[in-house]
Amino acid sequence: MINKIKMLNDLTINKIAAGEVVEAPYSVIKELTENAIDANSTNITVEIKEGGQKLIRVSDNGDGIYEEDVEAAFMRHATSKIIDLEDLNTILTLGFRGEALASIASVSQIEITTKPRNQSYGIYLEIEGGVVINKKQVGCSNGTTITVKNLFFNTPARFKFMKSPQAEATKISELITRLALSQAKIGFKYINNNNIMFTTSGDGHLKEAILSILDKDLFKSLIPIHNQKEPIKLQGYIGQPTYARGNRNYEIVFVNGRYIKSKLVYKAIEDGYKEKLPINKFPVCIMNIEISPQLIDVNIHPMKTEIKFHNQQMVYDLIYNTIRNTLVENTTVPFFSLSN
Ligand code: ADP
Ligand code: MG
């Protein structure tokens, strides 16, 4: 017998989509924090309890959401950031698909309190498994606070796949470190199980943010890098070769303020350090690549952590040459000879 084809309902569609966007607590934090960044916030606080399994809270002092838009923000494919695909050629916001809030809300209990500057009251909305269960006006400060509790409470298979709270917290700490470093103009505070893990000042200086978050020895070894060759601009810090690492954790790369993972960029960095580092040691490099949105594609990965550079050679060459030249000028460690 042939089964009839039927359209799925919205709640089911959102839960299926959540499988892609909401992999674990850290993906919820990534989406919420990126929304806070996109909302022109100058202060963002991220709080977790038990690796985010019990509680995730992201508060910002940004634009807020108007009363008439609050529910729409939780609808699938609803976004204030683009109107059509062409807009991706010019936008610099981190989000654009309009599916994160709908996906998260479909697999958790979520509360939002939000108030734009020129609306005299705030709105509180509570959603459980994608269904609105409470909405009211409240007094609150400007900006948005979103609290996510009991993630995956209605998707037992996903719930089972969560790692231990400690393992989740480790991934989350790494993520928040990167997000805070990607936006030195925003003051970040990160709270884990009621302990303040770090705060950054938001004074716009990457070096200050690095000092607030990473270790002091690393800070002392930093050399600034800066290079511009139209249409790309590089800016950031690399570490002295003496501060080599056992893994790639400190190869931290942003493209227009978006944290990304890129084999091409890691290769350019590591090739730049070739003969300066022993085998199986990795450099420190924290840098932002500024490039016209027309020359990249940010829409190739569900979590948008991978992007495509249209001209890979140009990107490789600029990074490689910048790092090579900076090392030649600033380090006393000689390059190991290639000939022996
Ligand atoms: P996207 O970020 O792709 O637009 P989301 O589902 O993450 O999609 O968010 C939907 C919409 O809700 C956003 O386009 C934005 O208008 C609004 N929004 C979400 N979070 C915030 C926030 N912290 N401050 C202000 N507006 C927000
Ligand atoms: Mg978003």
Residues spanned by CATH 3.30.230.10 within the chain?
Answer: 215-330
**Beta bridge mates, 225:** 236
pLDDT for the residue 283: 96
Q: Which residues contact 205 (CB under 8 A, 6 or more apart)?
A: 184
pLDDT for the residue 17: 77
Considering every ligand atom shown, identify the ligand nearest to the alpha carbon of residue 37 and give its number.
1
User: What pLDDT band is residue 217 in, cutting at 50, 70 and 90?
Assistant: confident
If phi > 0 it is left, if psi is from -120 to 50 it is alpha, else beta; for residue 185 that is: alpha
Instruction: Output the pTM of the full model.
Output: 0.94
The tens digit of pLDDT for each residue in 58-77 reads 999 999 999 999 999 999 88
Considering every ligand atom shown, identify the ligand nearest to the alpha carbon of residue 106 and give its number.
1
What average pLDDT does range 111-118 have in this prediction? 98
**Atom 25 of ligand 1 has which residue's CA nearest to it?**
64
Pocket test for ligand 1, best of 101, 112, 119, 142 (most atoms within 8 A of CB): 101
**Atom 10 of ligand 1 has which residue's CA nearest to it?**
73
The Å distance, Cα 30 to ligand 1 centre, comes to 12
The tens digit of pLDDT for each residue in 280-300 reads 999 999 999 999 999 999 988
Query: What CATH code would you report for 10-199?
Result: 3.30.565.10
Q: Which atom of ligand 1 is nearest to the CA of 97?
A: 3
Quick check: bond before 231 cis, omega within 30?
A: yes
For the beta carbon of residue 26, count every other beta carbon within 10 angstroms. Answer: 24
**Beta bridge mates, 308:** 297
**Angstrom distance (rounded) from CA 103 to CA 204:** 33
User: What pLDDT band is residue 1 in, cutting at 50, 70 and 90?
Assistant: confident
* Residue predicted with more confidence, 151 or 220: 151
Residues spanned by CATH 3.30.565.10 within the chain?
Answer: 10-199
User: What pLDDT band is residue 125 in, cutting at 50, 70 and 90?
Assistant: very high
What average pLDDT does range 224-250 have in this prediction? 93
Query: What CATH code would you report for 215-330?
Result: 3.30.230.10
Q: Which atom of ligand 1 is nearest to the CA of 96?
A: 3
Q: Give Cα separations from 204 to 92, 220, 256 (angstroms).
A: 18, 19, 15
Ligand 1 pocket residues where CB is under 6 Å: 31, 35-36, 39, 60, 62-65, 73, 78-81, 95-102, 144
**Atom 21 of ligand 1 has which residue's CA nearest to it?**
35
Question: Strand locations in 65-211, DSSP E?
Answer: 109-115, 122-128, 131-138, 143-149, 187-192, 195-199
